[in-house]
A and B are shown apart, each in its own frame.
Chain A
Amino acid sequence: MKKLLIGIAFLIIFLLIMLPFAGIAVGAFEQGPGAFWKALVRPEALHAMYLSLIIIVTVTALNAVVGVYLSLEMVRGSWIGRWVKPVVNALIDLPFAVSPVIAGLMVILLFGPDSLMGAFFEGHGTKIVYALPGMVIATLFITFPLMVREVVPLLQEIGEQSEEASKTLGAGPWRTFFQITWPSIRWGVVYGLVLTVARSLGEFGSILVVSGNIMGKTQTATTLVYEDAENFDLVSANSVALVLGAVSIAILLYLEWMKKRKEAQMHAH
């Protein structure tokens, strides 16, 4: 029975996860390492990776600041009424329920050329939809809950005592934050950051809708993979996908290492 169940578990994971992933590696090197390298240094591939990088950096930075601040206000802020907090809480979770395609559609509806805000920005010379700003907004929306969901439980756990003590001893809010609060939420924030990086790197559906997928202009690494696959250029698609997959695995391993560290810390206390 034991051997049978372990066998089944391995078989499922082999068929559903390992084999398909190995297929990418084989597909990428089907015509040798030269073709793999050529697919990666195509101008459109380089541009796509560059654009993905810009989106990741912008979104992660914004999410970090807003996410930590929102978590602080959600846990500590007494100005948010008792009945408002559950509403805000539900609001924070909403992006989890939204299909990526719908997230893209939202940005088009709000900032498209026919909309009020879109017309305003276009009048001032900034294109949002089918351009970088729209792609950043869509990714911001999708990744919004990640940071808050990591930091809020930590803030609740550490309680307010040390912060109150710091305040009583005459420290200002900034000093209290950096010397008292920050050290205890630091790893939660890092974890949230890594999750945000992973999600922004992998975001596809909303980007495809909002960017118009214009090659060499608004194409990211994930939409380039899609376009290559649509054109049945499987070697190119698999080459870029292999790089994306390798980065994802590195992120995954790092997250797991952090989780283990956290558990070890908890046992040590």
Chain B
Amino acid sequence: MASQAFKAASRSLLIAYLLLLVALPIATVYVKGFSLGWQPFWEEISGSVAWKSILLTIKLSVVSTLIQAVIGTIIAYVLVRYSFRGRTLLSSLVDLPFALPTSVAGLMFLTLLGPQSPIGDWLHRIGIELLYNQAAIVIGLTFVTFPFVVRTVQPLLEQLDASEEQASYTLGAGRGFTFRHVVFPAIVPGILAGSMLAFSRALAEFGAISLISGNLPGKTMVVSVFIYGETQNFRPEGAAALSAVLLTLSLAVLWTINALTRRKGRLA
């Protein structure tokens, strides 16, 4: 009897924990965002700075995701197909962006590209500014989303039998043709899944970019930084309204990934 009561109690506790820690907080954002009704919600969103920050976030996330799709595929291909000195080191370094705290990532680029460093100084002299502008944000986003595409493409490449590629060569196909018709179709699902993961991470990123983006309203201010500003100015309604938009976007991306990977079997 005692164990029955213990079971019931621990299960109730578990449900309460889930509701209080996960469900309730997310619901609160939507409730607060819409707390004053549709009209004020819309005014918060469509305010020129807020709206521009949403568009900017989407634009820069798309750019960094595209970069990621290309360089991630190259690195995955190199790691799987070639054996060379330093391969293990290269493979370990791919995961470093996930392990580093995001504020450290931001500081890294602030130090490297700032006027005090020789590299930043040199770039400045040849007329390239990579700090406090949109290029800086893209660099930060590319850094923090780095492992996604590599790690989703890698297993697909490993599964792809090297003999298929060799057969294609034997039959007289060139490198380009083989890549387009044999390798590429096999890894497309991985590139897509990895890119979408990278995209959803890029939408949400704050730490790595807040130090280097300059945060000029309407120019280099992304949504997460805007939301942070609203919380600092004690404007929870504005912060919640924008959070509701960002959260909905992220959830849509996440659920699309889940639906896609479930249909095609386990990808990531």
Contact = CB atoms under 8 A, between A and B. Distances in A.
Interface of A: 1-2, 5-6, 8-10, 12-13, 16-21, 23-24, 27, 66, 69-70, 73, 77, 79, 88, 90-110, 112, 114, 137, 140-141, 144, 172-173, 198, 201-205, 208-209, 221-223, 225-226, 229-230, 234, 237-238, 241, 244-245, 248-249, 251-253, 256
Contacts of A88: 18
B228 A101 contact: yes
A31 to B, nearest CB: 12
A236 to B, nearest CB: 11
Nearest to A102: B243
Contacts of B25: 103, 106-107, 109-110, 141
A226 B94 contact: no
A253 B109 CA distance: 23
B37 interface: no
A91 B100 contact: no
A73 B92 contact: no
Given A93-B254, A109-B236, 4 more contacts: A98-B204, A99-B243, A102-B227, A222-B101
A96 B247 CA distance: 11
A77 B206 CA distance: 38
A72 to B, nearest CB: 10
Given A9-B90, A27-B111, A225 B96 contact: no
If over half of B's interface residues share one DSSP class (helix, strand or loop), that class is named, otherwise mixed; here it is helix
A17 B247 CA distance: 29
Contacts of A13: 75, 90, 93-94
Interface residues of B, number: 79
Contacts, number: 233
Contacts of B32: 109
B78 A97 contact: no
B11 A102 contact: no
B157 interface: no
Given A92-B22, A102-B29, A144-B22, A97 B250 contact: yes
Contacts of A100: 102, 204, 206-207, 224
B108 A20 contact: yes
B240 interface: yes
A249 B98 CA distance: 10
A93 B219 CA distance: 33
Interface string B1-29: 00100000011001001100111111011
Contacts of A252: 92, 95-96, 99
Contacts of B175: 1
The 6 closest A-B pairs by CB, nearest first: A99-B204, A202-B101, A106-B25, A20-B108, A205-B206, A204-B207
B78 A24 contact: no
Nearest to B244: A102
Contacts of A97: 200, 204, 247, 250-251, 253-254
Contacts of A16: 139, 142-143, 146
